[in-house]
Structure formats: structure tokens, C-alpha cells
Amino acid sequence: MGNMKKTRCKFSLIFKVKVAIEAFRERKILAELAEHYELHPNQISLCKQEFLKKSTNIFDELGKQQKEK
């Protein structure tokens, strides 16, 4: 059994955004989304957190672009 190392699955940004938006819509409970996307419910929660954290950057960038015009 030795030194088997667990590898983490890397998800694309598009996939994470899609999952986060589905979770925010609340059309399905977390367990249903987890089953649909073959994820652990905690992974969906992490996608939502990351989405919220990084979404402010979108508005910052849009503000910068508008000031440049």
C-alpha cells in the first residue's frame, strides 16, 4: 500500500462557473447537484465561494474600462 498519493481533480473555470450558477439558482438541492455533476457537495460549496470571491474582479475590470473611455 506504500506511498499512494491522492491526486486532486482539476476543474475548468467554465465548469466551476456553471456549477456555481446552478447552485445559486437553487432549482435543485445541493445533493441533487452533486449527483448530477458527480461532485461532493463540499466541492459545490467551494465553487460558490470562489465565484463570489472572484466575481468582484469582474466589476473592478468593467469600472476600469469605463474610466478609460
pTM comes to 0.69
Cα separation, 2 vs 25, whole angstroms? 44
Per-residue pLDDT of 4-34, as tens digits, reads 555 556 889 899 999 999 999 999 999 999 9
Average confidence score pLDDT of the chain: 84
Task: Please report, rounded to a whole number, the percentage of residues in the chain having pLDDT higher than 70.
Answer: 84
Residue 55 pLDDT grade (very low, low, confident, very high; cuts 50, 70, 90) = confident
Q: Which amino acid is at 11?
A: F
Start-to-end C-alpha separation, the chain: 61
Segment 35-45 shows an average pLDDT of: 95
Provide the pLDDT for residue 8: 59
